[in-house]
Structure 1
Amino acid sequence: MKKLILTAAILGLSAGVAAAETVRMGTEGAYPPYNYIDDNGQVAGFERELGDKLCEMEGLTCTWVTNDWDSIIPNLLSGNYDTIIAGMSITEEREKSIDFTQAYYPPAASAYMSMDPNADLKGGVIAAQTGTIQAAHVAESGATLAEYATLDDTIAAVKNGEADAVFADKDALAPFAGTDGMEFVGDDVPLGKGIGIGLRKSDTALKDKFNDAISKMKADGSLNEMIKKYFGDDALTFN
């Protein structure tokens, strides 16, 4: 009888392990403090910690995959990973092709940064990362849009004179303020509906799991604590 009980317990444990779902978390790895590659070559940052926590709460096994920003949605749709957790704002245009969880970061301000306090933000050359809501905004603003693959490239474009200013998430630009004469200029611009996890429209069960975990973290205050850890005490948080 003891042997039968032990065998049943082992089978039950094996079934539980087999039932654990592996989720491939897709990110850029080049947008600190949201996500970046650390000195050990691993994905790190706010979204790495958050993603691991959400998976833990829902009994999921997370693995991390990096992908260039300009092809991050096509490669989600192609099945190269299961989520996008990469500082991606929820927009109506993106919702035409993919689905999103509820926001895990509130609608954040976008901002301009330049070496020239009098930079022409309406008629000059403005650098922005390809495929972002900031690039779309610049294209509609009357300024000349200069698109670059990464945030670092947009900063370099301003510093070497290719662009008059850069337009990006204010939180992402903040670490560059005060370096080589780079400073915020002009007014902040609110864009998007907040930042959420992108998923294929067919993955409704996975969306529900992440929404459940995000809701719990909002309710107990742990999501706000994590936001402040990476973005400071003055960061936008959830009420």
Structure 2
Amino acid sequence: MKKLLLATALTALSLGAAAAETIRIGTEGAYEPFNFINDAGELAGFEIILGTELCKRAGLDCVFVKNDWDSIIPNLQSSNYDAIMAGMSITPERLELINFSENYTQPTPSAYAAMSPDTPLTEGVVSAQVGTIQAAYVAASGAQLLEFATPDESVAAVRNGQAQAVMADKDYVLSVVGDGLEIVGEDVLLGGGIGIGLRKSDTELKAKFDKAIQEMKADGSLNTLITEWFGEEGIHF
């Protein structure tokens, strides 16, 4: 009888392990400090640390996978991964395509950077990463929008004279200013904060991530991470 019970228990454990599903989280790996490739060639950044903790709290087995920004939503919809953590702001336009978890950052400022403080921002050529809320803002501002696949390319366009200014999340802009490139103009508040992108059908997964985010807000650990990655000036909950 004991052998039978032991065999039954082992079979149940084996089936449970086989049924366990790995949650794949897509990220860009090119938007410091949110997500980037470190010197060891590994994904790193605020969202990698945060996502690992959220998965732990939610009881999920998660892995991060790198994906280019311009195809990051289509690949979620095609089930090439199950979630997105890539500095993606919650906007009405994106909510038509996918769902979002509760936000894990407050709406944060976007900023312009240019090689001269007198650079006009609502005329001329302004670069931004394709498919971002900053690109949409520039397009509506009166300036000529020049889009690039990566944020680094949009900054390089200013340094090499293709564009007069670049617009991006201020946290990213702060990481690239210097050598003549400086923040210009006023900050612009865009979006509803950053959240985890999810397929609309994955309501159970959304509920698990929402609960974990709410726990981290309540116990202060999310604010601790924000301070670690964005400094005391980071916008806290």
What is the TM-score of this pair, normalised by structure 1? 0.95
Q: Secondary structure at the match of 1:146?
A: strand
Aligned counterpart, 2:210: 211
**Contact kept in structure 2, 1:21 and 1:59, CA below 8 Å:** no
Aligned to 2:31: 31
Partner of 2:112: 112
What is residue 161 of structure 1 aligned with on the other side?
Answer: 161
Is 2:160 the counterpart of 1:146? no
Q: Deviations over 1:18-37 (max 9, x none)?
A: 34331010011100110011
- Look up the match of 2:20: 20
**What is the CA deviation profile of residues 111-153 of structure 1, one whole-angstrom value per residue up to 9, with x for unaligned ones?**
0011111001011211100000000000000011111111110
Post-superposition shift, 1:17?
A: 2.8
Q: Once the two structures are superposed, what CA deviation does each residue of 1:95-117 show, in whole Å capped at 9, x if it has no partner?
A: 00100001011101000011111
SS in 2 for 1:147: strand
Map of 1:71-86 to 2, 5 A cutoff? Answer: 71-86=71-86
Matches within 5 A, 1:115-126: 115-126=115-126
Separation of aligned partners in 2, 1:18 and 1:237 = 40
Q: Once the 2 structures are TM-superposed, how far is the Cα of residue 4 of structure 1 from its aligned partner?
A: 4.2
Unpaired segments ≥5 residues, structure 2: none
**1:229 corresponding residue in structure 2:** 228
In the other structure, the counterpart of 1:176 is 176
* 3-state secondary structure, aligned to 1:48: helix
Q: What is the distance in 2 between the residues matched to 1:99 and 1:141?
A: 28
Matched residue SS, 1:138: helix
After superposing on structure 2, the runs of 4+ consecutive aligned residues of structure 1 that deviate more than 4 Å are none
Matches for 1:180-195 after TM superposition, within 5 Å: 180-195=179-194
Shift of residue 3, structure 1, vs aligned partner? 3.3
Q: Which residue of structure 2 lines up, in the alignment, with residue 3 of structure 1?
A: 3
| CA offsets 1:66-116 (integer angstroms, 9 cap, x no match) | 111111111111111111110000000000010000101110100001111
Q: In the alignment, residue 186 of structure 1 is paired with which amino acid? A: G
Counting only pairs closer than 5 Å after superposition, residues 32-47 of structure 1 correspond to structure 2 as 32-47=32-47
**d(CA) in 2 for partners of 1:137, 1:173:** 16
The CA distance in 1 between the partners of 2:32 and 2:195, in whole Å, is 16
Which residue does the alignment assign to 1:57?
57
RMSD: 1.3
Structure 1 residue runs of 5 or longer lacking an equivalent are: none
What's the offset of the Cα at 1:2?
4.3
* Cα distance in structure 2, aligned partners of 1:212 and 1:16: 24
Q: Distance in 2 between matches of 1:115 and 1:105?
A: 29
Percent of pairs with identical residues: 59
**Secondary structure of 1:145's match?**
strand
SS of aligned partner of 1:168: strand
1:12 deviates by: 4.4
TM-score, length-scaled by structure 2: 0.96
Q: In structure 2, what is the Cα distance between the partners aligned to 1:20 and 1:109?
A: 40
Aligned-residue offset at 1:8: 4.4
In structure 2, C-alpha distance between the alignment counterparts of 1:114 and 1:235, rounded to whole Å: 23
Provide the secondary structure at the position in 2 that maps to 1:93. Answer: helix
